[in-house]
């Protein structure tokens, strides 16, 4: 594991200081609560003494927090980009049987402890000679939590089941699909002669981590009560409006008075039978003291739990749009439910690392080299420029905000698959960072001080 212990210890210390500040414990109080030797707390929070499991256990026992609140994540990508070579992926190969017969060959590709990707290369071992969703050779799974973006290579049949209906979609190279959690699915090959595999890029996004842990405590009834209707915009808007009214003890009459809208109109909008126009939306948001975006929850465009995008329907565009293009980009399957997921096929057209070809995103990024042509990649991390050659079947994880530039490496035109996803740094968190005073962001990332000065002002 590529971990810098000193960095991990330093970040653990900063979390401990931050938690003690939140609980208004200075060093002496923290030492007394945690049973520490006098004068040692500043060594822990300064990263000069590692936070032990015993200390975590004690803190979670005497303070109203959880062990994980004090545990940093491991940084396994200190150079900003982490490559997994095709031969490393091949070394992770394992065949999984279904109904006593080999069904899939799985290989791991680039993952990181910083992002929720679980991207697999999967070869279909079951060959079928039809497109029948009820073919008895098709072995279905139970569905899984993680969202799944799938890129198809070769003659692969994709099967998905939603609310009791089973479907088969014959796919070719370049087709893609994005699917909701817990929908049963399966894949087979239509030919035993041609390569038939998929890149199954699963990820949890906002569903894993703190939200799942919180809801597992609150229970399924509360989780169901909090669920918004992601298939009906009016119902979803009604759901968030009712939440704000309940939270602020605002009645329909009070909202009508605050917004100047007719009471009947407010009743219709809050009840989901009338759709607010832009002006009404702004007035409702002002009346509730929230941003208009809070009243516009995302809805899904999936049908049968999935969005399918065929290569034959796609129109690539050039990046940049003026001058000599560096890349031809094709949009792959996505969904409005996930505005921070971008799935792209990128054909590299240039043999030079040009500034116009520099790609920077706020999203976590996954790269896989499709086809047979290698690509050169250049990236900058902590002011240092790195270059590597990515061969066919190599994959990489890239941290947010790390600029990437691609160029050809062998004369041909490399084809890349990019899947970019949001992490825990939501739009809300980004806005909160931007609202902090000078110096706030540095302390948020690594709290380094008591919340007050012992010596006074």
Q: Which residue is nearest to Fe ion (CB)?
A: 148
Question: CB of residue 13 vs Fe ion: minimum separation in angstroms?
Answer: 39
Taking alpha carbons only, the member of 58, 207, 191, 217 closest to residue 126 is 191
Output 177 or 269, the one with its CB closest to Fe ion: 177
Question: CB of residue 150 vs Fe ion: minimum separation in angstroms?
Answer: 8
Q: Report which DSSP code applies to 359.
A: B
Q: Which stretch binds Fe ion (CB under 5 A): 5-13, 144-152, 249-257, 328-336?
A: 144-152
Count, residues near Fe ion per rule CB under 5 A: 1
Under rule CB under 5 A, which residues in 281-340 are in contact with Fe ion?
Answer: none
Output 291 or 300, the one with its CB closest to Fe ion: 300
Taking alpha carbons only, the member of 15, 74, 4 closest to residue 44 is 15
**Nearest-angstrom CA–CA distance, 149 and 170:** 16
Taking alpha carbons only, the member of 36, 42, 37 closest to residue 16 is 42
Taking alpha carbons only, the member of 330, 327, 365 closest to residue 344 is 330
Question: CB of residue 148 vs Fe ion: minimum separation in angstroms?
Answer: 5
**Nearest-angstrom CA–CA distance, 199 and 294:** 34
Q: Which stretch binds Fe ion (CB under 5 A): 64-72, 143-151, 263-271, 400-408?
A: 143-151
Output 148 or 188, the one with its CB closest to Fe ion: 148
Name the 3-class secondary structure at 14: helix
Question: CB of residue 71 vs Fe ion: minimum separation in angstroms?
Answer: 29
Under rule CB under 5 A, which residues in 343-372 are in contact with Fe ion?
Answer: none
Question: CB of residue 334 vs Fe ion: minimum separation in angstroms?
Answer: 17
Question: CB of residue 200 vs Fe ion: minimum separation in angstroms?
Answer: 6
Output 21 or 148, the one with its CB closest to Fe ion: 148
Find out whether 112 and 397 touch, Cβ atoms under 8 Å: yes
Question: CB of residue 144 vs Fe ion: minimum separation in angstroms?
Answer: 6
Question: CB of residue 457 vs Fe ion: minimum separation in angstroms?
Answer: 59
Contact string (CB under 5 A) for Fe ion, positions 145-164, x = contact:
---x----------------
Say if residue 320 is preceded by a cis peptide, omega within 30 of 0.
Answer: yes
**Nearest-angstrom CA–CA distance, 427 and 430:** 5
Question: CB of residue 76 vs Fe ion: minimum separation in angstroms?
Answer: 24
**Nearest-angstrom CA–CA distance, 99 and 102:** 8
Contact string (CB under 5 A) for Fe ion, positions 77-106, x = contact:
------------------------------
Listing DSSP states for 55-114 in one string gives: HHHHHHHHSSS-GGGGPPPP---TTSEEEE-HHHHHHT-EEEEETTEEEEEEEE----TT
Output 111 or 329, the one with its CB closest to Fe ion: 111
Taking alpha carbons only, the member of 109, 84, 79, 114 closest to residue 402 is 79
Find out whether 329 and 383 touch, Cβ atoms under 8 Å: no
- Give rounded-to-5 percent helix, strand, coil for the chain: 30, 25, 45
Contact string (CB under 5 A) for Fe ion, positions 248-287, x = contact:
----------------------------------------
Output 122 or 261, the one with its CB closest to Fe ion: 122
Output 181 or 410, the one with its CB closest to Fe ion: 181
Q: Which stretch binds Fe ion (CB under 5 A): 48-56, 140-148, 415-423, 440-448?
A: 140-148
Output 335 or 391, the one with its CB closest to Fe ion: 335
Question: CB of residue 163 vs Fe ion: minimum separation in angstroms?
Answer: 18
Q: Which stretch binds Fe ion (CB under 5 A): 76-84, 141-149, 358-366, 422-430?
A: 141-149
Output 41 or 104, the one with its CB closest to Fe ion: 104
Q: How far is CA 217 from CA 70, 71, 144, in A?
A: 19, 20, 20
Of all helices (H) and strands (E), which one includes residue 218? Answer: helix 210-218
In the chain, the largest separation of any two C-alpha atoms, in whole Å, equals 80
Residues that bind Fe ion (CB under 5 A): 148
């Amino acid at each position: 594991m590529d971990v810098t212990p000193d960095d991990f210890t330093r970040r653990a210390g900063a979390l401990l200081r931050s938690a003690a500040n939140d609980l208004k414990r200075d060093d002496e109080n923290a030492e007394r609560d945690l049973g520490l030797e006098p004068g040692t707390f500043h060594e822990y929070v300064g990263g000069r003494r590692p936070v032990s499991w015993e200390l975590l256990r004690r803190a979670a026992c005497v303070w109203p927090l959880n062990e994980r609140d004090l545990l940093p994540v491991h940084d396994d990508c200190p150079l900003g980009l982490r490559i997994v070579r095709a031969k490393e992926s091949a070394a992770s190969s394992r065949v999984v049987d279904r109904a006593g017969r080999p069904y899939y060959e799985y290989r791991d590709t680039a993952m990181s402890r910083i992002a929720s990707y679980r991207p697999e290369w999967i070869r279909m071992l079951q060959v079928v000679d039809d497109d029948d969703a009820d073919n008895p050779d098709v072995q279905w799974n139970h569905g899984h939590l993680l969202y799944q973006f799938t890129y198809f290579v070769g003659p692969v049949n994709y099967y998905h089941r939603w609310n009791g209906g089973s479907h088969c979609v014959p796919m070719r190279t370049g087709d893609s699909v994005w699917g909701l959690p817990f929908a049963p699915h399966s894949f087979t090959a239509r030919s035993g002669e041609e390569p038939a595999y998929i890149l199954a890029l699963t990820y949890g996004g906002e569903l894993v981590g703190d939200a799942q842990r919180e809801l597992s405590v609150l229970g399924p009834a509360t989780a169901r009560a909090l669920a918004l209707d992601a298939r009906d915009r009016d119902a979803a808007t009604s759901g968030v409006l009712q939440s704000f009214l309940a939270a602020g003890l605002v009645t329909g009459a009070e909202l009508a008075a605050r917004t100047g809208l007719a009471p009947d109109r407010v009743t219709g909008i809050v009840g989901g039978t009338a759709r607010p126009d832009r002006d009404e939306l702004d007035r409702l948001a002002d009346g509730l003291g929230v941003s208009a975006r809070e009243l516009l929850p995302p809805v899904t465009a999936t049908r049968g739990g999935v969005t399918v995008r065929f290569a034959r329907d796609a129109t690539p565009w050039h990046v940049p749009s003026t001058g000599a293009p560096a890349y031809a980009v094709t949009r792959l399957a996505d969904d409005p439910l996930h505005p921070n997921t971008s799935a792209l096929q990128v054909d590299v057209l240039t043999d030079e690392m040009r500034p116009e070809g520099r790609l920077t995103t706020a999203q976590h990024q996954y790269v896989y080299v499709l086809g047979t042509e290698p690509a050169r990649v250049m990236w900058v991390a902590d002011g240092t420029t790195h270059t590597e050659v990515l061969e066919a079947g190599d994959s990489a994880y890239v941290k947010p905000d790390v600029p990437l530039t691609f160029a050809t490496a062998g004369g041909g035109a490399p084809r890349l698959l990019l899947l970019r996803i949001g992490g825990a740094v939501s739009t809300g968190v980004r806005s909160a960072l931007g609202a902090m005073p000078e110096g706030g962001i540095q302390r948020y990332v690594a709290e380094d001080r008591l919340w007050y000065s012992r010596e006074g002002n």
